[in-house]
Structure 1
Amino acid sequence: MAPFTESGLGEAAPARVGEDAERQGRRPKPVYAALDLGTNNCRLLVATPTAVGFTVIDAFSRIVRLGEGLGSNNRLGEDAIRRTIAALRICRDKMRARRVTRSHLIATQACRMAENGPRFVERVKRELDLALDIVDQRTEAHLAAAGCAALADPLADNLILFDIGGGSSEIVWLDKAGEGRPVSERIRAWASLPIGVVTLAERHGGVSVTDSVFEAMVAEVDRALSQFKIDVAPLARCKNFHLLGTSGTVTTVAGVFLGLQRYERRRVDGLWMRRSEVDSVMASLRAMSYEDRAANGCIGRDRADLVLAGCAILEAIRRAFPSERLRVADRGLREGLLTQMMAADRVWTEATA
């Protein structure tokens, strides 16, 4: 993925990118927006291209729990839809204020699963004039890889990349051979597990999680991983590989490890953790009460009932693919979407021509 920087996040920033350029008769930079609507979160990034990457000029993230109760009735609930539309309205207003010239807005597992997913998309178009694209599992896995691949250790031969979501979890075997080719051409195998933190917590409970409940969650994920483990059997002969994880679960583990009172993306994204360090944090999280988790600045009440389900998914992956090193990514689908759009528009080719 192309490198990127952040600006204007939490600071006073120009409301309209390109106004100065317009006044001076220059063509303003194109402005791109990428939105990822998942089972649990609604996330937006707005960015402008640079010579070799892009600069994030605005961002938004809100827990909406669109997939709440989806596992029991296969439908998106009205309360969840209202929460989500309220978040999407904020995203729409941000994109308008930033004069976005190109966007790709995707919806993932909750809308894929729900009987009324297509009708929800129609409602969003009607009420907000936003066009959501319900993407398939393959696209989601490839976007996650495109968004995070820049954090791969250049000295490693292979890596297992994973994205723990609210309703599904994507896992990819990325081969370092042929570096320089598009990420999609280096994917040796991938899988989309129909298990995420929301669905797992709803099935097993997330407020009070005993050791037996935690192990039951790990076992469920391990069963879902069975075919992927067969697909990546040649990886067992490779000793020089590492794990690369992106998700609220992995960034929470990193934040707790760093002892952050409040989550700081700049300290978390790209952090390396040793196996023993992950073990220690996971044990600490499992020992916390629900109230302790809710009071932790890196977890909060919105995610206190989901974080141990995420830890169970992470633990199943770590047991299936033992590695001494885990790299943490606070990036993913949105960055993959931005990279994909800018590459298609050849903005970097034009900048260096």
Structure 2
Amino acid sequence: MRISIIDLGTNTFNLLVAEITVDKQINILHRSKYPAKIGEGGINQNYITNEAKQRAQIALAEMKQIINDYQTVKTFGFATSAIRTAKNGKEFVKQIRRDFDIDVRIISGNREAELIYYGTREAVGLDEEIVAILDIGGGSNEIIIANSEKIFWKKSYPIGMTRLLEQFQPSDPIRMDELGEIEAFLREQLRDLIEAFQTYSVKTLIGSSGSFSTLRQVLLAEERETIETGKTHYHIKLEDFNSLHQRFLDSTLEERMQMQGMDMARVHLMVIASIFINFLVKESGVSILFQSAYALKEGALFDYIKGIKQPEKSVSSD
């Protein structure tokens, strides 16, 4: 049986096509991502602009063609923060259903966190150690404190990188006073998170997909290494992150675009994302960093295989 899963993220739309055998083995057939930037221009007004809708329509049309080519029998779409909080989000989801016959569900922040956990747990191979999982999104950031057996604490923060970028509009390169303003804002917003890190004595932070994948790509490119086929997690040395973080702070957008391994779909968000990660590392005392190649869409796949046939009910009323 072939199924496809679409993660309609605030910055990027991601498509996963997989074949599931009768004994529940997985064969990944296709992965692709599209810089739909659905939150650009209206996310802090809780509105999806016409320009964002047009980018989304183009991305979804390409995805639908791929889905048809692979002849998948089920397609699940997961709409997250930008669509979840948009005043016209429900109508946009209805439009997607009409135009593309794709079953898109608007999921809650808690459900998003759960799916990210399922994906990361498989990618990293969690054990009894309690770790923190961070998914940096454009609209929201999901934090999960867990081990292989259970989730101890989770929360979705509506302060994703697109929201922060539009709120603070930092200079290029960022000024130190602007950096201080952003860190002061994060300190106020994340008080309960820092307390949770201390409560559970978290020392390992695992970043899922997104910005952490870009960190991995840049670091590997600088070391002239290639990403190993089939490897689903990567250890990021703290000193390497600190060095790259400083380079991000000192660089212009044009200079970041020239960095080997840089993801052009995320280049405009990497300074803000790096500030977020660095703040969390400093404030929490985390000493070990990992990147997980799996996130929401893989988590949804594993969740489906376990026997949950449908995603969480939509928070929309229809």
Query: For 1:199, which of 152, 156, 163 is the aligned residue?
Result: 163
Q: Which residue of 1 aligns with 2:287?
A: 324
1:290-328 CA-to-partner distances (Å, cap 9, x unmatched) read 111122243254433211011111112212322221111
| Partners of 1:328 and 1:156 in 2: CA distance | 19
Stretches of structure 2 lacking an aligned partner (at least 5 in a row): 310-318
1:55 Cα deviation after fit: 1.4
Q: Is 2:95 the partner of 1:133?
A: no
Structure 2: which amino acid aligns with 1:74? N
Structure 2: which amino acid aligns with 1:195? I
Q: Which residue of 1 aligns with 2:7?
A: 36
What's the TM-score once normalised by structure 1's chain length?
A: 0.80
1:98 Cα deviation after fit: 0.9
Any residues of structure 2 matched to 1:148-227 within 5 Å, and which?
148-152=120-124, 154=126, 157-176=129-148, 179=149, 186-205=150-169, 207-227=172-192
Query: For 2:235, which of 272, 291, 300 is the aligned residue?
Result: 272
| Partners of 1:345 and 1:100 in 2: CA distance | 18
What's the TM-score once normalised by structure 2's chain length?
A: 0.88
Question: Residues 338, 301 of structure 1: CA spacing in aligned structure 2 closer, same or farther, 3 A cutoff?
Answer: closer
| Partners of 2:234 and 2:264 in 1: CA distance | 25
| Partners of 1:304 and 1:152 in 2: CA distance | 26
Question: Residues 301, 155 of structure 1: CA spacing in aligned structure 2 closer, same or farther, 3 A cutoff?
Answer: closer
1:156 Cα deviation after fit: 5.7
Q: Which residue of 1 aligns with 2:313?
A: none
Contact 1:299/1:307 (CA < 8 Å) preserved in 2?
no
Question: Residues 335, 301 of structure 1: CA spacing in aligned structure 2 closer, same or farther, 3 A cutoff?
Answer: closer
Q: Which residue of 2 aligns with 1:230?
A: 195
Structure 1: which amino acid aligns with 2:96? V
| Partners of 2:247 and 2:228 in 1: CA distance | 21
Structure 2: which amino acid aligns with 1:55? N
Secondary structure in 2 aligned to 1:96?
helix
| Partners of 1:166 and 1:103 in 2: CA distance | 23
| Partners of 1:265 and 1:285 in 2: CA distance | 25
| Partners of 2:24 and 2:179 in 1: CA distance | 44
Contact 2:43/2:139 (CA < 8 Å) preserved in 1?
no
| Partners of 1:86 and 1:325 in 2: CA distance | 39
| Partners of 2:25 and 2:284 in 1: CA distance | 32
Question: Residues 127, 162 of structure 1: CA spacing in aligned structure 2 closer, same or farther, 3 A cutoff?
Answer: same
| Partners of 1:201 and 1:163 in 2: CA distance | 17
Q: Which residue of 2 aligns with 1:62?
A: 34
Aligned length: 306
Query: For 1:243, which of 205, 215, 232 is the aligned residue?
Result: 205
| Partners of 2:191 and 2:251 in 1: CA distance | 31
Q: Which residue of 2 aligns with 1:147?
A: 119
1:3-50 CA-to-partner distances (Å, cap 9, x unmatched) read xxxxxxxxxxxxxxxxxxxxxxxxxxx001111001100000000125
1:35-87 CA-to-partner distances (Å, cap 9, x unmatched) read 10011000000001255641110122011110112244321000100100110
Structure 1: which amino acid aligns with 2:75? S
